[in-house]
Amino acid sequence: MDDLTKTIIERGDLAHLALFLWASGASALLVWSLKEMASANKRFNDFVTEIASLNRLFRKGDD
C-alpha cells in the first residue's frame, strides 16, 4: 500500500486518493448499517412471533 500511496502522491492525485478513501469508508459504513438493520428486523420479527404465540396460548385458556 505504501508504494501505491507514494505513486499517487508523486502524480499529484492526492485529491483522488482522499475521495477514494472517503467513498470506501462511506460504502463500508452503508454495508455495515444495512446488515445491522436486517438483523434488528429479524429480532423484532422473532419478538412479534413470540407475542403472537403467547396471545394464542392465552386465548385458548379463555375458551
What pLDDT digit, counting tens, does each position of 8-58 carry?
A: 777 767 788 888 899 999 999 999 999 999 999 999 999 999 999 999 999
Between 2-11 and 14-62, two packed helices, what is the crossing angle to 10 degrees?
130
Q: Is the pLDDT of residue 63 over 70?
A: no
Question: What's residue 16's pLDDT?
Answer: 80
DSSP state of 13: -
CA separation for the pair 26, 20 (Å, rounded): 10
